[in-house]
Amino acid sequence: MNQKMTRFGALAAVMTLSAVPALAERPSAGCGSASPASGVYQIADGALTRTYRMHVPAGLDAAKPAPLALIFHGWGGDENEFLADPVVTGEADRLGFILVAPRGAGSEAPDNSYNSWTFDGSATGVGVDGRPVCDGAEGEAKTNYAYPSCGPVGEGVAQNGCSWTQCQTDDVGFVTTLIDEIGKTACVDLDRVFATGGSNGGMFTWGLGQTGQTAMALRAIAPIVGLPHQGDLAPPARPDGLPVLVITGNQDPTVPPGVWEDPGMSTTADTDLYHYTGATGITRAWAEAQGCKTDVAAAPVEFGAEGMDCRSYCAADGSGLPPVLDCRADMEHDYALAKSWPMVLDFFNRQPPR
């Protein structure tokens, strides 16, 4: 499937975004110790040794809890995919966010293939609705992407050739461990831990929000050009809901958002025919979890960069930033970080205390 890491040219955009930091603080164990340096670190994950890159804003007060944004790369990417972009680190410095970008499993033995993040249906090749997540004879993709750690197909975790992510480790469990580790070494506000990512990494953030152990640790998510597999309309696993900003591209052939107000699935238009929930379908489900009405069309919301069309089912009262935002631009399968990244951190920074 064509979700390999790409280089994203900076798009011309000028945004003026308000910064309204949250007031509540729940300091982690690392508060009071010296702040860790920006750099590359390793952490044990069962039998694996995992790598992550951390960015700590210069001059950050080691005694004051800072918000933490976890960033998950796309299929075949690594810990540098986002953090090598000065827009990403510059916005983090401006708003005082610690950034942590881990590397997905896959390139290590036994797979020796693309780093990836595993979520519902991605390793088995079967969605939560019991159907293959791609088209073809008995769910076979045009190319079989199943990792050695998931196969052989039909005998291991991979049930068909639609399987396309690693089976070496539990990625959700790894994220729980990672949050705990970062909190021990850095001064983090545990009420302001966020997750974002692109493509496969963006899809993974939905799974983090739909799983209890990680949903309760997160304040909001922001997937970029990433949607769940078809049929996966599960709400967030928090009783009080979980804010989400989803950014997609109307011209994206790999993870198309679908048509506005169509809750059905969308299908890739490039190499392989993989199926995803449409952006309308999943944002409706998450808006309902916030107590918002979805029997009327999503209302326009003024937010973000020029060229972004943002709408929400939670905008009826017109007060504040809606907790569920569906934003689309006329872009293809790229992150357009000059546009999208300031939106992501602004959305995170403006989440009110619980």
3-state secondary structure of 20: coil
Which residues form the domain of 178?
39-109+172-349
Residue 126 in domain: no
How much is the pLDDT for 15? Answer: 34
Compute the distance between CA of residue 341 and CA of residue 69 in angstroms, rounded to an integer: 12
Residue 166 forms part of a structural domain: no
- Checking if the pLDDT of 144 tops 90, the result is no
Q: Is a pLDDT exceeding 60 seen at residue 273?
A: yes
Of 283, 194, 295, 213, which Cα lies nearest the Cα of 247? 283
Residue 295 lies in a domain: yes
Identify which of 123, 128, 36 has the alpha carbon closest to the alpha carbon of residue 75: 123
Query: Contact 274/267 with Cβ under 8 angstroms?
Result: yes
Q: Is the pLDDT of residue 95 over 70?
A: yes
For 53-80, the pLDDT digits (tens) are 999 999 899 889 999 999 999 999 999 9
pTM (2 decimals)? 0.92
Which amino acid appears at position 76 of this protein?
A: G
Q: Is the pLDDT of residue 102 over 80?
A: yes
Average pLDDT over all residues of the chain? 90
pLDDT range class, residue 141, cuts 50, 70, 90 = low
Comparing CA positions, the residue from 197, 188, 107 lying closest to residue 148 is: 107
Q: 241 in a domain, yes or no?
A: yes
Is 164 within a domain? Answer: no
Identify the H or E element spanning 326: strand 324-329
Q: Residue 69: beta bridge partners?
A: 99, 194
Task: Indicate if the pLDDT at residue 328 is higher than 60.
Answer: yes
Q: In angstroms, what is the C-alpha Rg of the chain? A: 19
Structurally, the chain folds into a number of domains equal to 1
Q: Which two tokens stand for residue 131?
A: 């159907």
36 has a pLDDT exceeding 90: yes
CATH of residue 73's domain is 3.40.50.1820
In a domain, 34, yes or no: no
Chain centre distance of CA 37: 25
Q: What does the alpha-carbon distance between residue 151 and residue 117 come to, in Å, rounded to a whole number?
A: 17
One-letter amino acid at 113 equals S
pLDDT score of 317: 63
